[in-house]
Amino acid sequence: MYTVSIVSPSDGAVKPRHHSRLLRADIPATEIDPALRAFGRHIAKSVRKGRGVHIPAMKNADFGQVLRTLELTRACN
């Protein structure tokens, strides 16, 4: 009879490397696009009322400005 043996690779071969996070400076409130700032306020208001919010696809820079608006309005810290 044959004995079935499962050989698994060592943890070192499989363990993913951790990505280092790039720390960036906070965006000043004056540099946030007014339309994105209004959208951030809309999200904060809807969340306070318990409603869902559809967030459309946007570029990372725009999404960062929306998130910064939520930080400034103390909606999400």
18-75 pLDDT, tens digit each: 788 888 888 899 999 999 999 999 999 999 999 999 999 999 999 999 999 999 988 7
Number of domains in the chain: 1
Asked if residue 72 is part of any domain, the answer here is: yes
Q: Does the pLDDT of residue 1 top 70, yes or no? A: no
Placement of tokens 């363990």 in the chain: 15
The pTM (predicted TM-score) of the whole model is 0.67
Q: Is residue 69 part of a domain?
A: yes
Whether 41 is in a domain gets the answer yes
Domain that holds residue 74: 29-77
Residue 8 pLDDT: 65
How many whole angstroms from its chain centre is CA 67? 8
In angstroms and rounded to an integer, the radius of gyration of the C-alpha atoms of the chain is 22
DSSP for 12-50 reads: HHHPPPPPPP---PPPPGGGS-HHHHHHHHHHHHHHHTT
